[in-house]
Amino acid sequence: MEVYANVLLWVIPIFIVLILIEIVYGHIKKKQTYTYMDTLSSLSSGMTNILKDILGLVVVVISYPYLLGKLSIFTIENSLLVYIVAFICVDFSGYWTHRLNHKINLFWNQHIIHHSSEEFNLACALRQSFSDLIGYTALFLIPAAVVGVPAEVITLLAPLHLFGQFWYHTQHIGKLGFLEYFLVTPSQHRVHHAINPIYIDKNLAPIFCVWDRWFGTFQEELADEPPVYGVLKPVRTWNPIIINFQHLWGLIFDAWYTRSWKEKLTLWWQPTGYRPIDVKERFPRKLVTEINEMEKYNPQAGVLKRSWALFQWLGTTSMLFLLLANYPDFGNFQALLFGGLILLSISGYTSVMDGHHWAYNFEIARNFIGLLFFIIPNQNIFYLGTMPWLFYFGLTYFSLSLMSSLFLDERLKINLLNEG
């Protein structure tokens, strides 16, 4: 995990620079594909996924080393061939995992975050799941286990395979000629993120589009059908924590209120979007039916709130970088505590971005918790003894955050009085 943390210290800045370049390019070309709050939400979502991974929050049901030990028939020596075979197997696994996430109600919950943005840009690629807490994807790596691909090769290639999917989340690159026949391209992935009826659940492959062509899920981007992005039941929030569990909460709600015991047990495994008839009639939900009339989520936010949100994102991102840079010094327990503080911060400022009045009180409480985190005796001794500069950064950030949140809350109350 320490190695992965070090890799992220290089990869994250590269991704952010590429996002900034795309923003500038869109401005120059007068085709801007970013909105302010949506971008901050995407970047914040990326942080939640990183925290889940480096904190080891996933419970592995079945591991690849276990399958390798039970199923391997051959042993491939470390060579170029083993990396080629492994990469193809990882991509094959990615296709079927992705297809399962799109097709089954329960599994859609852990993927909805990636489709939740109503924009399409490089920042959307960072909307990765925090809620995929059960590790089962090794089941789709059985072909790799059978031919004896070493576990360390899979471990090395898995993050590289994920990073390789970043570049095609853009509207600024058109079709790429002969590459369209075997590689996933921006054109194909625009189709995948669209909610147009002809595009739904198409182009599921991560790198090689041959899987879509072979298994019947390929769809070309059509000139007369521009993609409309998002999900059919819009999430209507910037908070990535809420987005990650919103669909699951809907399933729990339906299972509780349906009168059929059969439905209570089976709705989880039905096709994505399925709801029992009785709860659908009693508790209808607003879905997108006319994609060209869909109103994008964009709650009002003035310059002050936008500047405050940027400050909060910068402060929280700095905390994440400090965690990654000093991962060995934390230990598991302190890393969990510090990671939890970052998650609390993300949930707080994104709720304020949504405009919820209760969120300001939540933010003030969150900042007091942050200050106490560094002040209480045990924490104080740990951080002053091992990472004193992190101690002073934490006190400074949460103090400034508390003051700015109180000021923003006061401005909101004044505005409400003036409107009244």
Predicted model pTM = 0.94
Classify residue 364 by burial, with Cβ atoms within 10 Å: 0-12, 13-18, 19+: middle
Cβ distance 1 to 55 under 8 Å? no
Measuring CA to CA, which residue among 116, 117, 122, 119 is closest to residue 20?
122
Q: Which residues does the chain have with pLDDT short of 70?
A: 1, 411-420
The predicted pLDDT at position 420 comes to 43
So what's the pLDDT on residue 409? 73
Report in angstroms the alpha-carbon separations of 312 from 161, 342, 411.
31, 11, 17
Residue 263 CA to residue 290 CA, distance in Å, equals 29
The pair of three-digit structure tokens given for residue 74, joined into one six-digit string: 């051959």
- Which tens digit of pLDDT belongs to each residue from 261-305? 999 999 999 999 999 999 999 999 999 999 988 999 999 898 999
First to last CA, the chain: 54
Cβ-count burial of 167 within 10 angstroms (0-12 exposed, 13-18 middle, 19+ buried)? Answer: middle
What is the pLDDT at residue 282? 96
Domain ranges for the chain, please list them.
2-215, 303-419
